[in-house]
């Protein structure tokens, strides 16, 4: 039976399929600045901080990487953040966990302002107790920092938490604090990047998460009520 008090979700590739808006934002930045968009990184760019992707994947020097982030956000703020869809079953999962009195949080490398707007637009924001995201200047984008922020603001210990995410850095952040990790395999992560990550559950779809977190809790509550 799960014992979690706090369930922490990544956003991109876990709560929502956000690939279209992110890819178009990178394409826009490349077009505006005159560098080549690299389609081979379409999944790789989803999850890490923007500045790191432009630095390390696109090999842009610091000033150009910062300008690329600004160009990306110019597109994303106007249109890209709304080019997404919730994964099937996410809304029901969130509502069920809330009904079971779980503390719900988001830890995303996405700019916090955009994360809040997306959750508000999808009508999920009211179900979350806390949303941690990066700052406008790209700081506070490490998963370790974000998880520490969530635990501080929810007053939950690592042992009381479970992290759900699709990429290596999600699992790495969870492992840093010895937080149980559920790999959202339906997202953008690859098997090869997860081989050194301690994984509590591999979720092929949202229903796998529901069965592990919500249904087990429901069964436990029924058993307790029958005593």
Q: Per residue in 30-71, pLDDT tens?
A: 999 999 999 999 999 998 899 999 999 999 999 999 999 999
pLDDT at 226: 39
Q: Do residues 183 and 189 touch, judged by C-beta distance below 8 A?
A: yes
| 2 has a pLDDT exceeding 80 | no
Strand order across the 161-165 sheet: 130-134, 103-111, 6-9, 161-165, 180-184, 201-203
Token duo for residue 129: 């107790």
Domains in the chain with CATH codes? 6-17+84-225 (3.40.50.1000), 19-82 (1.10.150.240)
The overall average pLDDT reported for the chain is 94
């Amino acid at each position: 039976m799960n014992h979690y008090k706090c369930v922490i979700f990544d956003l991109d590739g876990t709560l929502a399929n956000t690939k279209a808006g992110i890819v178009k934002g990178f394409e826009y930045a490349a077009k505006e600045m005159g560098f080549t968009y690299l389609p081979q990184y379409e999944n790789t760019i989803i999850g890490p901080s923007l500045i790191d992707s432009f630095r390390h994947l696109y090999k842009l020097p610091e000033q150009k990487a910062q300008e690329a982030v600004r160009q990306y956000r110019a597109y994303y703020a106007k249109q890209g953040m709304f080019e997404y869809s919730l994964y099937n079953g996410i809304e029901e999962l969130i509502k069920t966990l809330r009904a079971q009195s779980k503390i719900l949080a988001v830890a995303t490398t996405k700019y916090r302002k955009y994360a809040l707007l997306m959750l508000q637009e999808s009508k999920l924001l009211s179900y979350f107790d806390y949303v941690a995201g990066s700052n406008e200047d790209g700081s506070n984008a490490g998963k370790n920092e974000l998880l520490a922020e969530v635990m501080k603001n929810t007053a939950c210990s690592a042992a009381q938490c479970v992290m759900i995410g699709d990429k290596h850095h999600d699992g790495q952040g969870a492992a840093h604090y010895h937080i149980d990790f559920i790999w959202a395999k339906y997202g953008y992560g690859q098997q090869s990047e997860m081989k050194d990550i301690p994984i509590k559950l591999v979720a092929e779809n949202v229903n796998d998460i529901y069965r592990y977190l919500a249904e087990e809790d429901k069964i436990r509550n029924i058993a307790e009520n029958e005593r």
